[in-house]
Amino acid sequence: MQRLATVLRNRGVRFARVWGVVLASSLLATVGWSQQPSLTWLGTLGGGVSFATGVSADGRVVVGEARNTAGNARAFRWENGAMQDLGTLGGYRSEASGVSADGGVVVGGTYNADSYQRAFRWENGIMQDLGTLPGGTGGRATGVSADGRVVVGGADNAFWQGRAFRWENGIMQDLGTLGGDYSFATGVSADGRVVVGEARNAAGQNHAFRWENGAMQDLGTLGGNRSGAASVSADGRVVVGVSDNAFGYARAFRWENGIMQDLGTLGGREGVAMDVTADGRVVVGAAEDATRWWYAFRWTATGGMENLNITYTRLLTPGSALWQASAISPDGRYIVGYGLNATTRRVEGFLLDTVPEPTSLLMLGVGLAGLLGLRRRKQ
């Protein structure tokens, strides 16, 4: 009888462990984590090329630029497999550069009927001209806050000098320079308070900047003369972009707490960082490999720079390649960019769903198994 009781207790422990794993699997299926990574080519608007530049937080909306049947570039908004032409302000071309977290607001640049490029904000089918700086004639929007209310980019002033701007509630603010005659904004924090880009200093060199509360900070370089910021984390603390090193090669960088870090390459000499996750821990962009070809990369502190073509090779048909990762969703799950779609023989925008492993739910299952096992042993 004592041996039988021991066997039953042991079986109870094993049952608890199995049940914990089953429960974890059930939870994974419930929240959709049974999915596998997937790659979607976005197609075009009838022309021969498209480029993806932004993605909503949930990965359902992608924006960018695509050629139409007439060969003109048009801003697009892609959702549920359909690519929508966002039109222009009367001119012949447009391009989308950013999208709000919910996918409802799209920003970019377009030409008006007078052939001037203007910054636009699109929402609910309406493309709004954001105006210009006093005395200026044109501009282009590049980034938008998470809620779609703050837009950043570049516009010219009355002296035909390019200036970084921050637009909110109908007012376009000139962010100034680093002492020179030029600046251009490329990214904005989730709350719209921090703006990044590049600006010219008094020595005539373009440097990456971080702007907050009216002050523009020079982020320096990796030893060369030039740098430029491309994007910023949700809280505004981490900035990514490209900088020349001491040898004159362009290198992807990640800046935090006053330190600019060289992210390396894929084996070649150069690279550029394009975007960063909300927490600042994952960076995407493009870099050279040892053969001097450029490929899309993802960088983390633990894994370094990885070639997405190698990581997700099984998703690529023979001859296809991911050339640049232009944007990443706040949580790091979705990556968009452009590459070669060998099936259509076109350069096309892509949406990569990486489906990160749900380690928290797996640990929950293990934890429940342990608790059940402990309870069995106590009984």
pLDDT tens-digit series, residues 65-79: 999 999 999 999 999
**pLDDT above 90 coverage of the chain, percent:** 84
Residue 174 has pLDDT above 50, yes or no: yes
Residue 103 gets the label, from left (phi > 0), alpha (psi -120 to 50) or beta, of left
Beta strands in 233-293 (DSSP E): 238-245, 250-256, 259-262, 267-276, 282-289
Mean pLDDT of 357-367: 44
Residue 15 has pLDDT above 80, yes or no: no
Q: What predicted TM-score, i.e. pTM, was given to this entire model?
A: 0.86
- Reported as a pLDDT band with limits 50, 70 and 90, residue 175 is very high
φ and ψ at 338, to 5 degrees?
-150, 160
How far is the CA of 265 from the CAs of 220, 231, 254, 284, in angstroms? Answer: 20, 19, 13, 12
Q: ∠ CA(368), CA(373), CA(378), 5° rounding?
A: 130
Q: 185 near 164, Cβ under 8 Å?
A: yes
* 46-61 pLDDT, tens digit each: 999 999 999 999 999 9
Instruction: Give the bridge partners for 122, in sequence order.
Output: 106, 127
* 230-247 pLDDT, tens digit each: 999 999 999 999 999 999
pLDDT recorded at residue 4: 29
**Helix, strand, or coil (residue 248):** coil
Residue 64 has pLDDT above 90, yes or no: yes
Work out the mean pLDDT of the chain and round it to a whole number. 89
Q: 183 near 139, Cβ under 8 Å?
A: no
Other residues' Cβ atoms within 10 Å of the Cβ of residue 300: 13
pLDDT recorded at residue 13: 31
Amino acid, res. 195: V
* 299-340 pLDDT, tens digit each: 999 999 999 999 999 999 999 999 999 999 999 999 999 999
pLDDT recorded at residue 358: 52
CA–CA dist 178, 138 (Å, integer): 22
Amino acid, res. 123: E
Residue 23 has pLDDT above 80, yes or no: no
Query: Strands 126-129 and 139-144, how do they pair?
Result: unpaired
pLDDT recorded at residue 356: 74
Mean pLDDT of 148-173: 97
Mean pLDDT of 25-38: 57
* 334-343 pLDDT, tens digit each: 999 999 999 9
* 93-152 pLDDT, tens digit each: 999 999 999 999 999 999 999 999 999 999 999 999 999 999 999 999 999 999 999 999
CA 60 to chain centre: 14
Buried b (16+ CB within 10 A) or exposed e, 310-343: ebbeebbeeebebbbbbbbbbebbbbbbbbbbee
pLDDT recorded at residue 278: 98
Mean pLDDT of 263-280: 98
Mean pLDDT of 159-178: 97
